[in-house]
Amino acid sequence: MKLQSFSSYQFVDGGVCAAQGFKANGVCCGLKHQALSTATEQAAAANQPAAPATKKNDLAMILADVPCTAAAVYTQNKFKGAPILVTKAHLADGHAQAVIVNSVNANTCNADGEQKANAMCKLAADALGLAENDIIVASTGVIGQSLPIEPIANGIPSLVEGLSYTGNSEAVHAIMTTDTREKEVAVEFKIGKKTCRLGGMLKGSGMIHPNMATTLTFITTDAAVSPEMLQRALSDVVRVTLNRVSVDGDQSTNDMVCILANGKAGNSEITDEGADYLSLRGALYTVMLNLARMCAADGEGATKLIECIVSDAPSEDVAEKLAKSVIESSLFKAAMFGADANWGRIACAMGYADCDFEISGVDVDLASAEGRIAVARGGFGVPFSEDDAKRILLEDEIQVLISLHSGEASAAAWGCDLTYDYVQINGDYRS
């Protein structure tokens, strides 16, 4: 997938380790093995074959050299994972220095969930010589199964020992669940005369349907910024990036986006919405926009990234609601899987969106690297070549371009097609 770039921001390698003063690592501590052992016992009792073992990383850490200002946004699902509750308490003062995160088990809907999340923080804090409330904790994986703390305790020594300024790849692999590819982006930019960097990593493939956050996303920067301005930038950018991604209409219990800023770039601390703040927010937007697109492109079972852009709308709110309604439609997503230019499914999804617009002003085009074709004008379908449309829709990145001709606002949303593989993946997710 091609990254979307902006002139003031240069892409660099390193993900969460791109910024000065951040180390990371990931290890296999055996959470999947423990889960498989239980499953093997159950399979043996039922005379079924055991699942294969795995050595995939399942425990990750990010560590800053110095204390950081920090901010986060969280899922609005009422069944919040225990790590969310613990992290919110730890970030009440706007500061943190390390992140510990596991995959395989979400530590959600468990009576001992907060106890286990706090235990993870204590284990990490003791190993790093930090206070417990300086640790951000996160988990992802199966919901409703008690998280075994012993593998995590056993894995932390090697996790800490292996922390490095180039450990981002090991960390990315540790947070992946049904993801098929790593998702990390970093940029270099200027704040005044100081060169700064900002980078992030994301996990997310299924249960993607946002409200205040999407997936697990961890971002680091060496810019100096106050907790209040860092929170403002994060909340603003999440709204127009990750909150406009939908894979399957299911919102996770564990969604969280957090950012750490250690100030090592040496810029004057950002405390207001001036030019320096805009530079930082632009860097954050560049990274999170591309992470959002990566997330949509790697939706469970997906073969295509779909971008819906609504332009010439009376307000951004209307444009956003329409773009998201199209992206979220299962019928539309299925049509894109089949490369079927059935624009009626786009019209249907627009029609039940919770906003008002003039149908007589609606134009719809479909586009990809293979070209662009008009399928509706003035709210009505127009003749088009089915062969040309099929060729356009067979590409792996598709655009749905909608103009309302009723204003100057616009918004984009990102999703993917709905395939047979989505059902297969989720039919045996716990296996």
372 beta partners: 367
**Catalytic entry in 178, 214, 220, 241:** 214
The structure tokens listed for 90 are: 């730890």
Q: ∠ CA 328-73-299 to the nearest 5 degrees? A: 35
8 A C-beta contact, residue 70 and residue 228: no
Task: Tell me if residue 214 is catalytic.
Answer: yes
* Sequence-ordered list of residues with C-beta below 8 angstroms from that of 352, at least 6 positions apart, any chain: 325
Active-site residue set: 214
